[in-house]
Amino acid sequence: MIRPDEALRLLLETVHQNAPRRVPLAEAWGLELAEPIRADRDYPPFPRAMMDGYAVRTADAGKVVRVVGEVAAGQNVDTPVRCAECLEIMTGAACPPGTEAVVPKEQVRRSGAEVALPRRVTPGQHIAPQGSECPAGRPALNAGEPITPLAIAVMASFGLKSVLVIPRPSMAVITTGAELISLDEIPDPAKIRDSNGPMLVAMACDMGLGQPRHLHAEDRRDQIAKSLEEVADAEIVLLTGGVSVGTYDLVPQALDHYGAELVFHKVSQKPGKPLLVARKGAQLVFGLPGNPLACHFCFHRYVAAAVRKMEGKRPITDPMLGRLTEPVEPKGGRTYFVAALAQCNPEAEPRWRVRPLPGTSSADVFASARANCYAEVPPGASELPAGEVVRFTWIGSAPWPN
């Protein structure tokens, strides 16, 4: 049995970043760029009006000039701006030839086809010069940067329909156990509904992976091995249950039959002691505990880190610091990761209050359902009192509550 930090180190040593792949722009959000993005032309591509007003010559400041036309956004107008004349212009429109400034509507007095200009008109006022935001050829985004909605806007402006990225890994979920039934079945006294499958699918979607395939196998080595063969093309496979020491814990045997190589099995932590990691070629296989809270934690700490590294992102997030609102009992020689609710207290230092939400066991998700973080309790025999500072990590895209 290895320590949690050692397990994470071994996992990340065996995970490699995915090879770059070109994807449609609409599918690139949240990924990492694998190429620099350069402007295809000047932006703006013309001197652009920044206000609704009038395109004028600066020599006409303080004078009454005649309105000889109108320029709307997207309209090409060849009528030049001459002395004693102006054109009405809309925000975003291309300034016509001869424009030296744009005077906002609020600063003029209009009477029919004439406007009285203010005494002071500054050259270039309310005009964005051509190329002032991003000249042609300039790198606007660099390889390795995350693709945010703003980055999508940049690439759409450049007319890119696809982009080279570090792609998301594909994932499949295999739940095991003869005791599990689907959500639309009525359980008899010895059966329980499958909660791990929907939970893991939701966690994968929370990471932007989309809907993983979800299979179920009973506690038979041949069925588990058959399910593994069915998802052989997935880059990550999550098995739930069957990784402990019971008679029907057959996942290790099935993985050996499948040809997977063990990376580690069992970690000195609670929840999630039976965690297993193996790989077959480029495929990474996790044997997650069947208890729902343990299954959830192992995805949070280990699966998510592997996904992030495969996507070219920083695999481990920095822990936060917070004060316990209630005492917590350690779990002897194992590191205890207790589900908790972190709430902000801006007047305190550190500013996070961490309220433990421990269940009665690793199968109890009911007490922990409102958790937004996991707090780390080091191995030991002494109780951690209320007020003790602990490290914690946010769960998925959990909100930062007030």
Cis preceding-peptide flag for 271 (omega within 30 of 0)? yes
Dihedral class, residue 356 (left if φ above 0, else alpha if ψ from -120 to 50, else beta): beta
CB 300 within 8 A of CB 398: no
Domain boundaries along the sequence of the chain: 4-18+168-311, 21-43+134-166, 48-128, 320-394
Q: Which 3 state secondary structure label does DSSP give 64?
A: strand
CB 105 within 8 A of CB 90: no
What does the pLDDT read at residue 248? 65
Q: In the structure encoding, which two tokens stand for residue 110, read together?
A: 């209009």
What does the pLDDT read at residue 42? 98
What is the C-alpha to C-alpha distance for residues 150 and 152, in angstroms, rounded to an integer? 5
Give the closest residue to 303 by CA, choosing from 316, 292, 312.
Answer: 316
Distances (CA, A) of 313 to 8, 123, 146, 147: 16, 47, 8, 11
Q: In the structure encoding, which two tokens stand for residue 27, read together?
A: 């599918």
Residue 388 CB contacts under 8 Å (≥ 6 apart), including other chains: 323, 324, 328
Q: Interior CA angle at 395 toward 393 and 401, to 5°?
A: 90
CB 196 within 8 A of CB 208: no
Domain spanning 320-394 has what CATH number? 2.40.340.10
Give the closest residue to 238 by CA, choosing from 175, 294, 305.
Answer: 175
What is the C-alpha to C-alpha distance for residues 238 and 219, in angstroms, rounded to an integer? 16
Domain spanning 21-43+134-166 has what CATH number? 3.90.105.10
What is the C-alpha to C-alpha distance for residues 355 and 338, in angstroms, rounded to an integer? 10
CB 172 within 8 A of CB 215: yes
Q: For residue 103, give the DSSP letter.
A: E
Cis preceding-peptide flag for 350 (omega within 30 of 0)? yes
CB 39 within 8 A of CB 158: yes
The third-level CATH classification (topology) of the domain covering 48-128 is Molybdopterin biosynthesis moeA protein; domain 3 (2.170.190)
CATH number 3.40.980.10 given to 4-18+168-311? yes
What does the pLDDT read at residue 398? 64
Q: What angle, 0 to 180 degrees and rounded to 10, lies between the N-to-C axes of helices 221-230 and 251-258?
A: 50
Give the closest residue to 37 by CA, choosing from 131, 161, 129.
Answer: 161
* Tens-binned pLDDT, residue by residue, of the chain (402 aa): 999 999 999 999 999 999 999 999 999 999 999 999 999 999 999 999 999 999 999 999 999 999 999 999 999 989 999 999 999 999 999 999 999 999 999 999 999 999 999 999 999 999 999 999 999 999 999 999 999 999 999 999 999 999 999 999 999 999 998 888 788 878 788 887 889 999 999 999 999 998 999 999 988 899 999 999 999 999 999 999 988 877 768 899 999 999 999 999 999 999 999 999 999 999 999 999 999 999 999 999 999 999 999 999 999 989 999 999 999 999 889 999 999 999 999 888 999 999 999 887 877 889 999 999 999 999 987 899 999 999 999 998 765 454
Cis preceding-peptide flag for 44 (omega within 30 of 0)? yes
Max CA separation in the chain (angstroms): 96
